[in-house]
Amino acid sequence: MVFSSVSFIYYFLPMFLVLYFMAPRKLKNLVILLASLLFYFYGEPVYSILIVLSSGLGYLHGRWIHKKKGGRYEKLPLISSLATGIGILMFFKYSDFFIKNINQIFSLNIPFLALKLPIGISFYTFQILSYTIDVYRGDAKVQRNILKFSTYVTLFPQLIAGPIVRYTTIESELSNRKHSFENTAYGINRFIIGLAKKVLLANTLGQLTKIFLDISEKTMLLYWGYVIAFMLQVYFDFSGYSDMAIGLGRIMGFHFLENFNYPFISRSISEFWRRWHISLGTWFRDYVYIPMGGNRVSLLRWIINVFVVWFLTGFWHGAQWNYVVWGLYFALFLVLEKKFIKSILEKLPAVMGHLYMLFFITISFAIFAADDLSGAFNNLKCMFTIKLLPFTNAETTYYLKSYMFILIFAIAGATPILKGLVGILKSTEIGKKTMNIAEPILHILLLLLVTSYLVDGSYNPFLYFRF
């Protein structure tokens, strides 16, 4: 089940909310847990056992780490937690990747396991590991109530597509959270905005990328259009899901941290990654980069640290070499920016920094959009080799013109322009009163429009199968 479906919006969610708000305070976590397991079971019946097992192992490791803290073998339970969590993730997500490469290197014919990737395993594995590491460090108190811990791991708003919610973020709210009309109203509005971003923008852009892939007579302009459309699709899909997760969490009294902050207005690659998928970037920073020494080491060791973190970041996204190259691509830029490019950008007009960022981020999505490394190289070759393909043709021009409005609107929506306009309107008393009336009406209209798209059976891909 996904958020952008009629079954979730009009069946699962209303029934859950009725039961949740009717339940006594002591039973609310139980309602969330049962609903979350049902939500996961709907899409992954067999792998529901895996998430229950992972939750149980995370809980037991937390208790074990707490018990051994300060003792002779205090690191043993932490090592066990890391080995177990990462081992399960590697087995289900990367087994065939390693088998494929071993077969190619040693000319073997080991059969593939062909395991179906459990939805959300990359997200909930990292959440469990953040908990056990924080308990070991003393940054989080051990959770003795298995119901509360399982609720944290399986919490359905962020279960399948993030953001990666750390235990410390909602630790107190698992036991004591406030429900209010303001939180509910904010949560509903945030959910609808995220839903509209996913269905109206991301899905429409997905249709365009599919058209580009299906066109037989490719052109250079088509490849650029494909990559830009895909980049915007991923942004609105992922940020839309994050908005929906944050909104649903707020309805239940949880305050999840923001996961996107208008990354396309950045002036550097470093700033882009401070604004894009914030929960993943800060996870690798706090649990990999800083423990390795961060930037408080020699120059060579720091460069190694950066490349290791970004190798892992790329590999986290998928079991293909193009994701690894994508991660290392960013590692190279982050090193160059820190030592050379940043000082140059600071002397240039702001617009030059924006153009620099947009160009190289677009190149990164040409790598990210491919199914494998050869596909990534083909995308780049076709984007830059004028002798290989014609610049454009009638078919490319037709589809670009047909989708021009959605592309322009998506580009504008990826910036704070609309938010700024609303802020200006609300700065006056009349504007504030007008917006207080207009916003609920707009959200209702958006929900109706989204519903019509979903009922019509419009293109509704789920990008997170690869993660």
Question: For 290-336, how does the pLDDT look when each residue is reduced to its tens digit (9 = 90+)?
Answer: 999 999 999 999 999 999 999 999 999 999 999 999 999 999 999 99
CA distance linking residue 125 with residue 84, whole number of Å? 10
367 and 290 belong to one structural domain: yes
Rounded to an integer, the average pLDDT of 258-278 is 96
In eight-state DSSP terms, residue 219 is: -
Q: What is the pLDDT of residue 2?
A: 86
Please name which of 211, 217, 216 lies closest in space to residue 230, comparing C-alpha atoms: 211
Residue 161's pLDDT is what?
A: 80
Alpha carbon separation from 311 to 92, 100, 314, 375, 456 (Å, rounded): 19, 19, 5, 19, 41
Could you tell me if 178 and 253 are in contact, meaning their C-beta atoms sit under 8 angstroms apart?
yes
Question: What is the predicted pLDDT for the residue at 286?
Answer: 96
- My answer on whether 171 and 229 are in the same domain is no
Amino acid identity for residue 130 in this structure: S
Tokens 């592309």 -> residue: 407
Name the pLDDT band for 191 (thresholds 50, 70, 90): very high
Assigned domain for 151 exists: yes
pLDDT band at 386 (very low <50, low <70, confident <90, very high): confident
Answer for the pair 133, 287: CB distance below 8 angstroms, yes or no.
yes
What mean pLDDT comes out for the span 247-264? 96
The 3-class SS string of 18-79 reads HHHHHCCHHHHHHHHHHHHHHHHHHHCCCCHHHHHHHHHHHHHHHHHHHHHCCCCCCHHHHH
Q: Which residue, of 115, 150, 177, is where some domain finishes?
A: 177
Question: Residue 428 — very low, low, confident or very high, per pLDDT cuts 50/70/90?
Answer: confident
> What mean pLDDT is predicted for residues 264-288?
96
User: Does 11 score more than 70 pLDDT?
Assistant: yes
pLDDT band at residue 458 under the 50/70/90 scheme: low
In which residue are the tokens 């924080």 written?
A: 134
* Other Cβ atoms within 10 Å of 190 Cβ, number: 21
* Final residue before a domain boundary, out of 150, 177, 204: 177
Q: Last residue of a domain, which of 156, 177, 198?
A: 177
- For 109-140, give the DSSP string: -PPP--PPPPTTHHHHHHHHHHHHHHHHHTSS
pLDDT at 467 (0 to 100): 60
pLDDT at 44: 83
Over residues 411-435, the mean pLDDT reads 87
pTM: 0.94
Band (pLDDT 50/70/90 cuts) for residue 462 is low
- On whether residue 232 sits in a domain, the answer given is yes
Regarding whether 259 and 162 lie in a shared domain, the answer is no
pLDDT at 466: 60
Q: Average pLDDT of 167-177?
A: 94
Give the model's pLDDT for residue 278: 96
Cβ–Cβ < 8 Å for 343, 349: no
Closest CA to 101 of 112, 116, 90: 112
Whole-number average pLDDT of the chain: 93
Domain-embedded: residue 133: yes
Residue 463 confidence (pLDDT) above 80: no
Domain shared by 103 and 145, yes or no: yes
The answer to whether residues 423 and 281 belong to one domain is: yes
Does residue 465 surpass a pLDDT of 70?
Answer: no
Cα 138–chain centre separation: 28
User: Mean pLDDT over residues 407-417, rounded?
Assistant: 93
Domain that holds residue 374: 183-466
> Are 58 and 205 in the same domain?
no
Q: Please count the structural domains in the chain.
A: 2
Total Cβ atoms within 10 A of residue 208: 24
pLDDT of residue 237: 95
Q: HSE (CB half, 13 Å, CA atoms) of 191?
A: 22
pLDDT tier at 385 (50, 70, 90 boundaries)? Answer: confident
**What type of residue sits at position 403?**
Y
Same domain, 150 and 196: no
- Would you say residue 236 has pLDDT above 80? yes
Quick check: 430 pLDDT over 70?
yes
**Residue numbers annotated as active site:** 317
pLDDT at 367 over 70: yes
Residue 267 falls within a domain, yes or no?
yes
Answer yes or no: is 1 within a domain: no
Radius of gyration (C-alpha) of the chain in whole angstroms: 23
Is residue 373 included in any domain, yes or no? yes
Contacts of 256 (CB under 8 A, 6+ apart): 157, 158, 163, 165, 169, 170, 245, 246, 249, 250
Q: Are residues 275 and 395 in the same domain?
A: yes
Given a cut of 70, whether residue 36 has pLDDT beyond it is yes
| pLDDT band at residue 387 under the 50/70/90 scheme | confident
Q: Does residue 260 sit in the same domain as residue 346?
A: yes
- Residue 46 main-chain phi, psi, to 5 deg: -70, -45
Do 191 and 318 fall within a single domain? yes
Q: Based on the domain organization, do 111 and 225 belong to the same domain?
A: no
| Contact between residue 254 and residue 177 where contact means Cβ atoms under 8 Å apart | yes
Report if residue 347 sits inside a domain: yes
My answer on whether 18 and 117 are in the same domain is: yes
- d(CA 120, CA 89) in angstroms, rounded, equals 10
Domain annotation covers residue 65: yes
> Is the omega angle on the peptide bond into residue 163 within 30 degrees of 0, that is, cis?
yes
pLDDT, residue 51, reads: 94
Q: What would the mean pLDDT of 243-251 be, rounded to a whole number?
A: 96
- pLDDT for the residue numbered 182: 92
Residue range 49-63: mean pLDDT, rounded: 96
Q: What is the pLDDT of residue 172?
A: 94
Q: What is the rounded average pLDDT of the residues 211-236?
A: 93
What is the maximal distance between C-alpha atoms in the chain?
A: 74
d(CA 140, CA 244) in angstroms, rounded, equals 27
List of E strands, 297-382: none
